[in-house]
Structure 1
Amino acid sequence: MTSSADPVPSADDGAAPGAAPGGPVFSSRWERRRAVTSWALWDWGSAAFNAVIVTFVFSPYLVSGVAADETTGSEQLGYALSIAGFVIAVVAPAVGTRADVAGRHRFWLGFHTVVIAACMAGMFFVQDSPEYLLLGLILMGVGSVFFEFAEVSYNGMLVRLTTAKDFGKVSGFGWGMGYIGGLVLLVLLLVTVISPEVGLFGVTDEDGARYRMVALLAAVWFAVFAVPVLIWGPKAPPRLPAAHAARATGIVAGVRAFLSDYKRLIARLVQMFRTERRTLHFFLAAAIYRDGLAAIFAFAGVLAAGSYGFSSSEVIVLGVAANVVAGIGSILAGWVDDRLGSKTVIVVGLVALIVMALPIAFSDSHAVFWACAMVLSFFVGPVQASSRTFLARITVPGREGENFGLYATTGRAVSFLGPFMFAAAISLLGFQRAGALGIALVLLVGLLIVLPIRPPSRDGVQVP
């Protein structure tokens, strides 16, 4: 995470040598390593929501086991998550601004994490009967909203953890921990709860108890690994005077402060258009190619089962292998990021993803699919992690939450693009594997938009 050559910040309020103003302040290397490790453990624990709840276990249970039929369940889950996406798009920027104003990224990360864990624990009460579908959808939607809010504060902490020259290494380490944490939890749940005829605590398939217990255990996993960052995570000084933050007490005052944050945000966007167009340019590019990245994972299992005849167990094995490779890629790419720059990792990764999507579209060979899937997995994580690093490097100190809130919003603004292009390519060409071409086209557009962007400095935060 840190090298012996890294400058060690002093114990006073000044930034570390070589750090951006308002950057990390630690009294020793040990304190800094502890902060980075505790930060990455939140990513490790958060995989309980992403991998277990959203992707592999609870969502399929909700659609296939709780809903009256899979078509109805899929449709209603889509509507629920669309509503959640709209809420995120509207509210996320102000959430980030509020954290920046008071310097309370750690507090808000803790608050949002508690809400997410509570939603996950609440899923224990969702039995396998249609009358429980609404409860499950509400818990999924609310959990998704607060997960995005939590990531705004979590990503905003990056610039407080280390100097700019190590952003890539730290970001890649956190992202890799998330993939590996998801892998470890999935394997544990498979061997203790999901696969055995009688699982841990005596659970069976009756009333969906097996999957409800998975949700409860995932909530505990997330809560436990979130604790370290809430104790040892980096603190940020408030951007505005304490008197301003003190006014935001009570419900009415809180609403007024929220609206005030949006007024400040609009002024911020106008300012960015005038003086930070590179950041806006990056928001546009990242929104497009990140949706292509999301589509890769969303439809990999669909293609594996539909076009290549994978069984359910083979799809799970594919998912486990993909998480392992993606985690390794994220960690290794962090070192490359710090040496060659975030943009280099992004561009090389996108080119590799586009090239590897083509054989999937035109070959029905299992060996070709496996090889391409592993290469795709290897580069997905690095592009995601280096995108976060790129933004951290070009963000003006004190604007971390605001910018990462906008990052979340712009990503949600085009979240329909990848699924639409996947379906459109299939409709146009008439076979399922053609969907890979639709995803490749989305990635290509994002690549073309990101190419002209001037790369940020690797030695310090470079204000556009």
Structure 2
Amino acid sequence: MSELAPEAPAISPANPVKKRTVFAWSLWDWGSAAFQAVVTTFVFSVYITQEAFGPEEVVSAKLGTALLIAGLAVALLAPVTGQLSDAAGKRKLWMGINTAVVVACTALLVLVAPEQQFLMLGLVLLAIGNVAFEFAGVSYNAMLSQISTNKNVGRVSGFGWGMGYLGGIVLLAILLVGFIFPDPGWFGVTHENGWNVRVAMIISALWFAVCAIPVFFAVPEVAADPHRKMGMRGVLSSYGTLFKLIADLWRDTRQTLVFLVASAVFRDGLAGVFTFGGVIAALSFGFSPTTVIIFAIAANVIAGVATIAAGYAEDRIGAKPIMMWSIMCMVIAAMLVFLLAPLGTWVFWVFGLLLCIFVGPVQSASRSYLSRLIPAGREGEIFGLYATTGRAVSFLAPGAFTIAVSLGGAAIYGILGIALVLLVGLLLLLMVRVPKP
């Protein structure tokens, strides 16, 4: 029998789970949203594409290039770093190092003044922060099996993911009310020379740093595997081990490999919902920038609450039904947004928010489903591969959106492209057979 066979579950039902340990683990997700929501989505990424940094098309292209390079680095290195941390028993150590790098990069963004000579500094810090964030996320996801059992992994995963949504929105709301919108804002911070955004970066870094601390005390380090460690002689040999892992998955637990492919596709569709949702709201429904932010806050709050609630349902009915029904509901909601768009802005408010209800449950269930399949001691390795497959198909949603808009001649057609990616992911998911407990 292969060492990857599902008969060696990573999650033992006999292990007691302390609520305070789960809460400490989830606080990392709560704090990490400072980087996701504030830095990469709503605040800094918008700030650095302003005219002060150069022509819009030039800056946008450089931003895209920086994030592309970061994505390639994650795709190439995530499985290997996860594999090495598992074997050496250094999962928590490397999670701490990568978290510290993200915090440092976020704090250093205070140096990025709105002038062209600071553009490269901002892009480099953003790219490094993205890579470190993904690597830290691999270790964080791998910890799921340490703080849950087969009976409650769904609600534990859902609680953590929901905390991420809610934490990001709480911080975003504080920054918008205190610094981004008013001039002057709290403590006399003004918009002059971009100080409102730059101070927000310092606060975001502190927010993440403080919230990340509890997990390192509450969750124990994994034990080293001396047999695997002896067989690893540097990074190059680790790639050989990675290819052997993929071959073993194909031969012995093919359903795990099929799920990795299916989840990569539908997760890219989920990313497209938030990436292009604001574009559709603004161009097709006439939302102002302020209204887009208000909608985004509402969408994330709804997604967070729904994710926590869906975690409890998942432990009763299973992760696959949650993923399948959620994706189907998202496709239906997307089609209703498209078909009813001529009726006015209420369509996007109603059916756009309905669509957002199901984003978090799919993401959380995908993580917990994979966690159930991974043998003990291989969590970082498999979750690294999970990150790699996601990056490998990250062109799908942007490509489908762009093609749909080009063929339809209007931004509203882009939602059909996103729905198509979700539908393909659903069809691939149907091919995955749930392993017997």
- TM-score by length of structure 2 reads 0.95
Q: How has the CA–CA distance of structure 1 residues 303 and 22 changed in structure 2, closer, same or farther, with 3 Å as cutoff?
A: closer
Instruction: Tell me the equivalent position of 1:10.
Output: none
Partner of residue 376, structure 1: 355
Within-5 A mapping of 1:53-92: 53-64=39-50, 66-92=52-78
In structure 2, which of residues 334, 346, 350 is the aligned counterpart of residue 367 of structure 1?
346
Distance 2:239 2:274 in 1: 33
2:236 pairs, out of 259, 280, 283, with 259
**Whole-angstrom CA distance in 2 between matches of 1:395 and 1:21:** 6
Aligned residue runs from structure 1 range 135-174, under 5 A: 135-174=121-160
Cross-structure match for 1:416 = 395
CA deviations on 1:127-176 (whole Å, 9 max, x unpaired) are: 00111000000001000011110010000000111111111000000000
Distance 1:190 1:21, change over 3 A: closer
Per the alignment, do residues 22 and 440 of structure 1 end up closer, same or farther by CA in structure 2, a change over 3 Å counting? closer
8 Å contact kept, 2:10–2:373: no
Indicate the residue corresponding to 1:230 in structure 2: 216
Name the SS of the counterpart of 2:176 in structure 1: helix
CA pair 448-21 structure 1, distance change in 2 beyond 3 A: closer
1:426 corresponds to which residue?
A: 405
Matches of 2:11 and 2:350, distance apart in 1: 45
- Structure-2 change in CA distance of 1:66 and 1:238 (3 Å): farther
Determine whether 1:403 maps to 2:382: yes
Shift of 1:273: 1.1
Kindly state the Cα deviation for residue 400 of structure 1 after the two structures are TM-superposed. 0.4
**Residue 326 of structure 2 is aligned to residue 349 of structure 1:** yes
Distance apart, 1:195 and its partner CA: 2.0
Conserved in 1, the CA contact under 8 Å of 2:10 and 2:374?
A: no
Amino acid at match of 2:97: F
Alignment of 1:26-65 (within 5 A): 32-64=18-50
Q: Partners of 1:209 and 1:125 in 2: how far apart?
A: 10
Q: Which moved more, 1:307-316 or 1:188-197?
A: 188-197
Q: Is the 8 A contact 1:278 1:454 kept in 2?
A: yes
Percent of aligned pairs sharing the same letter? 47
Alignment-derived partner of residue 3 in structure 2? none
From 412, 436, 439, the counterpart of 2:415: 436
Partner of 1:252: none
Q: Name the structure 1 match of 2:309.
A: 332
Give the Å deviation of 1:88: 0.5
Task: Give the alignment of 1:82-161 within 5 angstroms.
Answer: 82-161=68-147
CA distance in 1, matches of 2:259, 2:79: 16
Deviation at 1:243, TM superposition (A): 7.1
State how far apart, in whole Å, the 2-side matches of 1:306 and 1:122 are: 34
1:381-392 mapped onto 2 (5 Å cutoff): 381-392=360-371
Distance 1:131 1:437 in 2: 40
TM-aligned CA deviation for residue 68 of structure 1: 0.9
> Helix, strand or coil for the counterpart of 1:164?
coil
Whether the 8 Å contact between 2:261 and 2:389 is mirrored in structure 1 is: yes
Q: Deviations over 1:353-373 (max 9, x none)?
A: 111111222323211111111
CA distance in 1, matches of 2:237, 2:211: 34
In the alignment, the residues of structure 2 paired with residue 224 and residue 159 of structure 1 have an alpha-carbon distance, to the nearest angstrom, of: 24
CA contact (8 A) 2:9 2:373 kept: no
Q: What letter corresponds to residue 105 of structure 1 in structure 2?
A: R
**Alpha carbons of structure 1 residues 21 and 297: separation in structure 2 relative to 1, 3 Å:** closer
CA drift of 1:421 comes to 0.3
Runs of 5+ in structure 1 lacking a partner?
1-18, 249-255
Report the AA paired with residue 403 of structure 2: A
2:428 aligned residue:
449
The Cα RMSD (Å) is 1.8
Match of 2:190 in 1: 204
1:45 is displaced (CA, Å) by: 0.1
What amino acid sits opposite 1:269 in the alignment?
A: I
Q: Which amino acid aligns with 2:315?
A: D
Unaligned runs of 5+ in 2: 1-7
Residues of 2 paired with 1:156 and 1:414: CA distance? 22
Higher RCO (Cα < 8 Å, 6 or more apart): 2
CA 1:190 to 1:81, structure 2 compared with 1: closer, same or farther past 3 Å?
Answer: same
Check whether the contact 1:326–1:381 (CA below 8 A) recurs between aligned residues: yes
Distance in 2 separating the partners of 1:242 and 1:201: 54
Question: How far, CA to CA, are the matches of 2:134 and 2:82 in structure 1?
Answer: 11
The residue number in structure 2 matching 1:3 is none
CA contact under 8 A between 2:87 and 2:228: conserved in structure 1? no
Number of the residue aligned with 2:296: 319
| Contact preservation (8 Å) 1:22, 1:398 | no
CA displacement, residues 221-268 of structure 1 (integer Å, 9 cap, x when unaligned): 0000000001112432223359749xx8xxxxxxx4222222211111
Preserved CA contact (<8 Å) 1:173 1:334: yes
